[in-house]
Amino acid sequence: MAHSRTIRSCGTHPEVGVSETQSALELDEDARRLAELGYKQELHRRLSGFSNFAVSFSIISILAGAITSYGIAMTSGGPIAISIGWPLVGIFVLFVGMAMAEVCSVYPTAGGLYFWAGRLARRNKRQWAWFTGWYNFLGEFAVTAAIDFGAATTWMAFLNLTTGLEVTQVRTYIAFLIILLAHGLLNTFGVDLVRLLSNVSAWWHVFGAAVIAGVLAFVPKHHQSLSWTFFHYENHSGWGVPIYVFLIGLLMAQYTYTGFDASAHVAEETRKAARSAPKGIVTSIWVSIVGGWVLLVATTAAIQDYSGELGTATGLPPAQIYIDAVGQNTGVFLLFIAAVAQFFCGMCSVTANSRMSFAFSRDNALPGSRLWSKVNPRTGTPTNSIWLCVTCSAI
């Protein structure tokens, strides 16, 4: 709590004086608006509106969360928690995203949630910003760890199926560290590379999900009935109250629908941020609702052996569903599509995480803030903050 007394008021960055604010009038509209909020332009503004959307869409990643946490819904609720739960949760998340987008249009800064909390609070502004920022900071690197560990799980399943490599906890953790290190390096190289890979990621997710859904819809010889796919209930959780079990199953969807605040965190690198960042938030959610629903319904309808696929030796139920439904070779190919998407997802998560940490340090809210708020003048990226986030996620 003592540290909350030293956090700078959001929008009163000491490096931006009256003269600098006035000189910002000569800059472009984005830099001028940022100066009005109390900050100078330090990050390179290279992202388009599509790239901003791509970062959030990639972090939500219907081919990551919906695949790696599919077993949660299979265990708790079954098909009804998957096929009905996905759009149900998505609608509520869309409402949240629309509210966030409206605030973001007024305050398009890398700080995102904590900056908004500090500006919107009627009293104790610094305290609200501090608490919100710390929850956001801790949650972001925890999500990065979860995404990359999920990616490691998927890649280990892929290796198990292609090479026969035994999946162990140690090997999975080593794979996790390798993936996390790669994401740190890719982000260190600069925002231009992040922009390119984010754009590729968005299209990979769209076409990848379409390919998986299409193959699962037309290739298998047997599909579950429509009523089973949407309304069948399964309970392997150990809990006895159906509604409670169903709610636990919704965690699959809720876990996936996270990270869309990334559009705000990269706002200071986005052109026309006051319009592009809010659009990125909302668009990433509704596209994920539609695309994810198609993917999940196709996957659920293709289930051949519920118990066997839930307890698969690969550790990833969708991998076994693909293989049982369309054969070994095609199933492994579908899993490869998901594995690549999950790699992109983790990369974008590190991007958003590091920008939030940079902004929070810029307001003197993290221990060692002076170090974490530094920006590499060549790449225009907060390099120190990137590796702070990678280290925290690894731990």
| Domain assignment of residue 36, yes or no | no
Tokens of 281: 């938030």
Q: Which residues in the chain land under pLDDT 70?
A: 1-27
**How many C-beta atoms surround the C-beta of residue 123 within 10 A?**
6
| Domain assignment of residue 138, yes or no | yes
User: Structural domain tally of the chain?
Assistant: 1
| Domain assignment of residue 312, yes or no | yes
Number of helices followed by number of strands (H, E) in the chain: 21, 2
The pLDDT, as a whole number, for residue 202 is 97
| Domain assignment of residue 6, yes or no | no
Query: pLDDT of 71-128, one tens digit each?
Result: 999 999 999 999 999 999 999 999 999 999 999 999 999 999 999 999 999 999 999 9
Contact partners, residue 95, CB within 8 Å, separation at least 6: none
**Contact by Cβ (8 Å): 81, 235:** no
| Domain assignment of residue 59, yes or no | yes
Give the Cα separation of 243 and 256 in Å (integer). Answer: 21
| Domain assignment of residue 5, yes or no | no
Domain residues for the domain of 377 are: 45-394
| Domain assignment of residue 113, yes or no | yes
The pLDDT, as a whole number, for residue 4 is 41
Give the Cα separation of 324 and 4 in Å (integer). Answer: 55
| Domain assignment of residue 18, yes or no | no
pTM over 0.85: yes
Which CATH number covers residue 240? 1.20.1740.10
